[in-house]
């Protein structure tokens, strides 16, 4: 099964980045792709995205180290994050497994947008921004 890995360096403590990713209910606030989310049960979420509806089931969660989910209704079978502290920063690797190799290029773009969305939001919060006032904008995200 093909696998994609994409990494970004974020100027924030690992704990802050982990807490944002671990709070699925705020994902529509910052993730450029996610429009709505609802919790179906513990560790199981239904996401309305601009590329379709996805059910995300958390299967592994090691605070500040790694997270893994399986997805239904998505071209990705599994998606995960690995956190690697780098002094005051954290390197976040998003990885995904998927069935069809010909989907790699579009999934690479999606992973890039996801990580940039995360970075822009974390930068905003770290600068003292009010999470409730955050407005996600593609123009800011693509420049990150």
Q: What is the pLDDT of residue 128?
A: 97
Cα torsion 35, 6, 54, 106: sign: positive
Domains within the chain, CATH numbers bracketed: 3-143 (3.30.530.20)
Cβ burial, residue 40 (10 Å; 0-12/13-18/19+): exposed
In the structure, what pLDDT confidence band is assigned to residue 143 with cuts at 50, 70 and 90?
confident
Cα 80 from Cα 41, distance rounded (Å): 20
pLDDT (tens digit per residue) in 104-122:
999 999 999 999 999 999 9
Region for residue 126 given its phi and psi (left: phi exceeds 0; alpha: psi -120 to 50; beta: otherwise)? alpha
């Amino acid at each position: 099964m093909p696998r994609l890995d994409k990494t970004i360096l974020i100027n924030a403590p690992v704990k802050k980045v982990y807490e944002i990713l671990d709070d699925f209910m705020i994902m529509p606030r910052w993730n450029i792709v996610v429009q709505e989310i609802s919790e179906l049960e513990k560790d199981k979420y239904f996401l309305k995205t601009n590329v379709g509806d996805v059910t995300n089931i958390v299967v592994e969660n090691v605070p500040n180290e790694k997270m893994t989910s399986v997805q239904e209704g998505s071209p990705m079978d599994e998606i995960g994050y690995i956190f690697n502290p780098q002094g005051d920063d954290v390197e976040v690797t998003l990885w995904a497994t998927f069935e069809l190799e010909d989907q790699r290029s579009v999934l690479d773009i999606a992973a890039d947008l996801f990580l940039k969305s995360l970075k822009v939001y974390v930068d905003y919060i770290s600068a003292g921004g009010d999470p409730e006032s955050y407005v996600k904008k593609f123009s800011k995200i693509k420049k990150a």
